[in-house]
């Protein structure tokens, strides 16, 4: 069946429908990962978005549910150059199209993803629609696409009840802003006893459980929408409990302390983004998924120092807060685009917690 991807600037790409047969409006973004499409699909940070995969063949190793980053995929739509109908992998449990149908996610294949990516790089991420209706009306559709915004993103993806992942080591409170499962797994593997809290949990409840450290997770949407969460994060910051924050958590911590954020033109999404540790000069390859970034000029010099920058565009990739046991990064140290380059940051967090506990 024919399908159409319509962008808010009026450009239309014709391809073939796969996955769920439904019409959807979303924010169209692109991801440059060569592998890991299941991890991309199940990352809650993509809530409300239709993702263009720049790698041309997707689905060739099927769906290995053990690799999922949450209980279900969060994309609004999936856009690929070529869908592999055959899954060649002894771990595969189903093919990609069956997985998308089961989770009610539409896809389009056979479109020029290189051309679409170039448009998004030049004009920025934009609203889009996938439809199988050949009689679409651009005059009716384009105003809807131009007005589309991802709303209530964190509320949509965060769990509603606490969840405990037992361990015999340090006690960590993980605030679920749209967390990937590998964050809790990375802490568990290091012996930590992890309790995951819904995004709107009060600081008083978290601190009342007397954690040795606090993790702020990744998540979707505009960080400035999280007004009530930001207020609670400021209380957590003032508590002097060691904190490590990733992605959205990194942005919310900055907002809680007077810094500012801005929307990027097309964001950083993929498993091949170089980040530089300013203390050592070493460059790491990182996994990233974000459309907002902290404004450099907005960070008070007496508040924090920049610890990591993006090698490509020099944007902030990490902050080290002065006089506090608080470290934050924009990228994903729990993800493995190849070597587990930045997983050591979890070890540093554990040492920070031990130091605070023994002080």
Does 205 participate in catalysis according to the annotation? no
Does residue 312 have a known ligand-binding role?
no
Let me know if 97 is exposed, middle or buried by CB neighbors in 10 A (0-12, 13-18, 19+).
Answer: buried
Tell me, yes or no, if 161 is annotated catalytic. Answer: no
Check 250, 268, 273, 332 and give the catalytic one.
Answer: 332
Strand stretches in 171-277, DSSP E: 171-176, 193-198, 213-216, 243-246, 261-277
Distance CA 81, CA 83 (A): 7
- Annotated catalytic residue, options 8, 27, 247, 317: 247
Identify whether the C-beta of residue 329 lies closer than 8 Å to the C-beta of residue 284. no
> 170 labelled as ligand-binding?
no
Per DSSP, 297 falls in state G
Verify whether residue 290 is a known catalytic residue. no
Tokens 């790089």 identify what position? Answer: 121
Q: Within 10 Å of residue 88's Cβ, how many Cβ atoms?
A: 9
**β-strands 283-294, 24-31 pairing:** unpaired
Residue 55 annotated as part of some ligand binding site:
no
330 has binding-site annotation = no
Q: Which two tokens stand for residue 316?
A: 């902030």
How is residue 152 written in tokens? 């209530």
What is the rounded distance in angstroms from the CA atom of residue 29 to the CA atom of residue 127? Answer: 9
Instruction: Pull the structure tokens for residue 349.
Output: 């967090």
Tell me if 124 is assigned to a ligand binding site.
no
Residue 292 assigned to a binding site = yes
**The two three-digit tokens of residue 263, written as one number:** 């929307």
* 3-state secondary structure (DSSP) of residue 251: helix
Coil, helix or strand at residue 45? helix
Is 281 known as a binding-site position?
no
The reply to whether 255 sits in an annotated binding site is no
Active-site hit among 39, 97, 232, 334: 334
- The angle formed by the CA atoms of residues 74, 267 and 123, to the nearest 5 degrees, is 110
Annotated binding site for L-glutamine: 45, 219, 221, 248, 251, 289, 291-292
Active site residues per annotation: 247, 332, 334
Annotated binding site: 45, 219, 221, 248, 251, 289, 291-292
């Amino acid at each position: 069946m024919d399908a159409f991807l319509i962008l808010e600037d009026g450009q239309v790409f014709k391809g073939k429908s796969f996955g769920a047969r439904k019409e959807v409006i979303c924010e169209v973004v692109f991801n440059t990962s060569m592998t890991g499409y299941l991890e991309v699909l199940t990352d809650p940070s993509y809530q409300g978005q239709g993702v263009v995969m720049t790698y041309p063949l997707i689905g060739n190793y099927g769906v290995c549910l053990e690799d999922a980053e949450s209980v279900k995929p969060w994309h609004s739509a999936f856009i690929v150059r070529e869908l592999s109908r055959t899954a060649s992998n002894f771990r595969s449990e189903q093919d990609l199209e069956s997985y998308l149908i089961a989770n009610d996610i539409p896809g389009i294949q056979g479109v020029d993803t290189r051309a679409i990516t170039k448009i998004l790089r030049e004009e920025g991420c934009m609203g889009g629609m996938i439809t199988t209706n050949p009689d679409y009306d651009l005059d009716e559709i384009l105003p809807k696409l131009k007005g589309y915004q991802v709303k209530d993103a964190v509320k949509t993806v965060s769990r509603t009840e606490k969840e405990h992942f037992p361990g015999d080591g340090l006690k960590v409170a993980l605030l679920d802003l749209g967390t990937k499962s590998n964050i809790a797994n990375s802490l568990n593997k290091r012996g930590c006893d992890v309790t995951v809290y819904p995004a709107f949990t009060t600081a008083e409840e978290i601190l009342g459980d007397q954690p040795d450290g606090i993790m702020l997770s990744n998540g979707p949407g505009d960080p400035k929408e999280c007004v009530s969460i930001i207020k609670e994060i400021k209380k957590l910051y003032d508590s002097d409990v060691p904190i490590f924050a990733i992605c959205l958590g990194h942005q919310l911590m900055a907002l809680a302390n007077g810094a500012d954020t801005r929307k990027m033109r097309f964001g950083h999404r993929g498993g091949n983004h170089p980040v530089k540790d300013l203390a050592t000069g070493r460059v790491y390859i990182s996994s990233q998924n974000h459309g907002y970034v902290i404004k450099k000029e907005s960070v008070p010099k007496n508040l924090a120092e920049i610890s990591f920058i993006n090698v490509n565009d020099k944007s902030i990739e990490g902050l080290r807060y002065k006089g506090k046991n608080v470290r934050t990064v924009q990228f994903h140290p729990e993800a493995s685009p190849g070597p587990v380059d930045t997983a050591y940051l979890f070890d540093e967090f554990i040492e920070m917690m031990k130091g605070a506990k023994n002080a």
